[in-house]
Amino acid sequence: MRAIQLLEPGKFPELRDVPEPKPGPGQVLIKITAAGLCHSDIAVMEHYAVENNYPLPMTLGHECCGVIVDAGEGAKPLVTMGENVMIYGPWGCGRCEECAEGYENYCLNAVRMNITPPGLGHDGGCAEYMLVDRARYCVPIGDLDPVAAVPLTDAALTPYHALMHSREKLDANSNAVVIGVGGLGHVAVQLIKHLTPATVIALDVSEKHLQLAREIGADYAFKSNDEAVKSVQDITKGLGAEVVFDFVGIQKTIDLGVKMTKVRGDWNIVGIGGGAAKVGFGNTPFECSVFSPYWGTRRDLYDVVSLAQRGMIKIHTEKYSLDDGVEAYHRLHEGKVVGRAVLVP
Ligand code: NAD
Ligand code: ZN
């Protein structure tokens, strides 16, 4: 089968021919119907694969949809052949205290037991077939189109989880700042608009992305630069926003975010761009909470599927064939993708 694999750290991946995988005990085999490309894949290529000792070559892709075509011993009775599913990505042991509470994304044993997500240590979805280690990760998508649905597994799940953390701070008089209206950010804008009465202020460096922000309901959308601080202060009567979501996480956006967060506000740094925040008395607004969430829970994923089925999340996608997948990664790296790039084998 064909698969887009990272062969060497620091380089872009390549499309290769690899053996078709066979499900072992407990595993499920899916025929991929769609795979979303996330900016985290760029971080994987640049440094994550080395830092986390990912076995290379490794097939990329942690946003995956497919049809169940086979299952190994023990998994067969748990799944339905031919079912359309999406794959919950942050795999865990299922038994530790965090997993027991549903926070499999924060599994206490995953590192020690070398349990890794698809495309992030385990072969991922940028291929014709993929192995899923446990049946519980296969979440039914019903009639949703796999291309439109696949970004729900991360581009929607991650901002949904972050928003659930901060939702009670977002009432009718509140403001939410969304920095970076890319794959995750353009879903965040829609989630905040649908699930809270707050005003949404979107910032990006690209006019195309700002245009998308306006189309999907942002109340304000302007360039992410030093003047943006004054604009946010003007909108918020000099107080700052109750919640700031940073979907970039580079030093520039971290430096902006702290100046836009209100006293007792929430500063949600979701992007993994390598920036660092100076936190503490005199550095952050009084009693401001700083979060760096990772992905979301399986419960959250069922919630975002339900929101999508009721038309509350409309993901803007750019569709590519597997043959054009490497080119799509180049476009993502260059900031040219509007919404989410999705591969269809
Ligand atoms: P993306 O490339 O689709 O979107 C990034 C957006 O940020 C683009 O619209 C880009 O124009 C904009 N941008 C770039 N520089 C900016 C700046 N200085 N100010 C404002 N906007 C700027 O990326 P994505 O797939 O949406 O991922 C966003 C970030 O979140 C990445 O760092 C990714 O690795 C990370 N991520 C984190 C998690 C998590 O669990 N914490 C999960 C998924 C992705
Ligand atoms: Zn991701």
Q: Please answer whether residues 275 and 208 qualify as being in contact, where contact means their C-beta atoms are separated by less than 8 angstroms.
A: no
Which residue intervals of the chain are DSSP H helices?
A: 39-43, 49-51, 97-100, 146-149, 157-166, 183-195, 207-215, 226-235, 251-260, 298-309, 325-333
Pocket test residue of 189, 205, 227, 334 for ligand 1, highest count of atoms within 8 A of CB: 205
| pLDDT attached to residue 3 | 98
257 touches ligand 1 (CB under 6 Å) = no
* Number of alpha helices (DSSP H) and beta strands (DSSP E) in the chain: 11, 16
The domain total for the chain is 2
- The tokens for 336 are 């040219």
Centre of ligand 2 from the C-alpha of residue 345, in Å: 19
Are both 165 and 264 inside the same structural domain? Answer: yes
Give the whole-angstrom CA distance, residue 34 versus residue 45: 21
Residues 142 and 204 reside in one and the same domain: no
- Rounded-to-integer distance, Cα 282 and Cα 286, Å: 8
Q: How far apart are the first and last CA of the chain?
A: 10
The rounded Å distance from CA 57 to ligand 1 centre is: 25
C-alpha 270/C-alpha 163 separation (Å) is 11
pLDDT attached to residue 103: 98
pTM over 0.85, yes/no: yes
Residues 173 and 314 in one domain: no
**Residues 286, 302 within the same domain:** no
Write down the residue that tokens 């972050």 correspond to: 162
pLDDT along the chain (345 residues), means of 10: 97 98 98 98 96 96 98 97 98 98 98 97 98 98 97 98 98 98 98 98 98 98 97 98 98 98 98 96 97 98 97 97 98 98 97
SS3 345: coil
Q: Which atom of ligand 1 is nearest to the CA of 40?
A: 34
What is the chain's length?
345
Quick one: 15 and 122 in the same domain?
yes
CB distance 317 to ligand 1 below 6 Å: no
Q: How far is the CA of 217 from the centre of ligand 1 (A)?
A: 19
Report the C-alpha gap between 310 and 302 in whole angstroms.
Answer: 13
- The residue type found at 342 is V
Which atom of ligand 1 is least distant from the CA of 272?
Answer: 32
State the maximum Cα–Cα separation within the chain, in Å, rounded to a whole number. Answer: 62
DSSP class per residue in 214-252 = HHTT-SEEEE-SHHHHHHHHHHTTTS-EEEEEESS-SHH
Cβ 208 under 6 angstroms from ligand 1: no
> By residue range, what is the domain housing residue 64?
2-154+296-344
CB 27 within 8 A of CB 131: yes
- Regarding the beta carbon of 151 and ligand 1, being less than 6 Å apart is answered no
Taking CA atoms only, the protein residue closest to ligand 1 atom 30 is 271
**The pLDDT value given to residue 180:** 98
Q: Tell whether 182 and 108 lie within a shared domain.
A: no
Q: Supply the pLDDT for residue 249.
A: 98
Quick check: 268 and 243 in contact, CB under 8 A?
A: yes
Same-domain pairing of 128 and 22: yes
CATH of the domain at 244: 3.40.50.720
Instruction: Looking at the CA of 208, name the nearest ligand.
Output: 1
Site to substitute for ligand 1 among 41, 152, 161, 270, most atoms within 8 A of C-beta: 270
Contact indicator for 225, 248 with CB cutoff of 8 Å: no
- Do 306 and 205 reside in the same domain of the chain? no
18, 9 Cβ separation under 8 angstroms: no
Q: Which amino acid is at 219?
A: D
Looking up residue 146, the CATH number of its domain turns out to be 3.90.180.10
